[in-house]
């Protein structure tokens, strides 16, 4: 499940859940039952029904889970993140923030191409298997 939480626009990205928590005592007592504890190992992060955050951003445009654009002005290495599940964005430079906004406003569709090495290898293996069974 992918979830986006909107906080207080007057605070910066480090606000966490402080703007939306109503019962601070309950929150403090139960936080690490669901969220990863930095004092524990990697298995705590992967616990059943656990929550882990992928990105923290000041603004986001999301069309669907794993299909989003993020503005991260505080991250000097990667100030903008553009994600589309199952699509190689290096092969599709036409997909950008503007395209996502246009999709929301005008319901436009952008054509893409996706050819990964894994797909190519599987395709070649399937051809070899089919030829060896026939011959």
Q: What is the mean pLDDT of the chain?
A: 73
* Residue 68, number of CB atoms within 10 A of its CB: 21
**H/E segment holding residue 67:** strand 67-71
Q: What is the pLDDT of residues 7-44, one digit of tens each?
A: 787 887 778 788 888 899 998 898 888 888 878 887 77
CA distances from 109 to 59, 100, 106 (A): 23, 10, 9
Helix (H) or strand (E) holding 119: helix 117-134
Say what the alpha-carbon torsion angle 89, 90, 94, 96 is, to the nearest 10 degrees.
50
Counting residues of the chain whose pLDDT is more than 70, the rounded percentage is 72
Domain boundaries, the chain: 1-53, 59-135
Total-model pTM: 0.49
135 residues of the chain, pLDDT tens digit each: 566 677 787 887 778 788 888 899 998 898 888 888 878 887 777 776 777 666 667 777 777 777 777 887 777 777 777 777 777 777 777 778 888 888 888 888 777 766 665 565 555 555 454 444 444
């Amino acid at each position: 499940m992918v979830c986006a939480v909107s906080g207080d626009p007057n605070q910066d990205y480090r606000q966490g859940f402080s703007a939306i928590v109503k019962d601070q005592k309950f929150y403090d007592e139960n936080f690490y039952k669901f969220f990863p504890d930095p004092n524990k190992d990697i298995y705590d992060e992967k616990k059943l029904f656990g929550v882990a955050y992928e990105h923290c951003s000041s603004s986001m445009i999301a069309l669907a889970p794993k299909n989003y654009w993020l503005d991260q002005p505080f991250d000097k290495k990667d100030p903008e993140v553009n994600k589309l599940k199952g699509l190689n964005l290096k092969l599709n430079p036409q997909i950008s923030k503007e395209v996502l906004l246009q999709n929301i406003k005008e319901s436009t569709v952008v054509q893409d191409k996706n050819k990964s090495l894994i797909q190519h290898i599987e395709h070649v293996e399937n051809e070899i298997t089919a030829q060896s069974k026939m011959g």
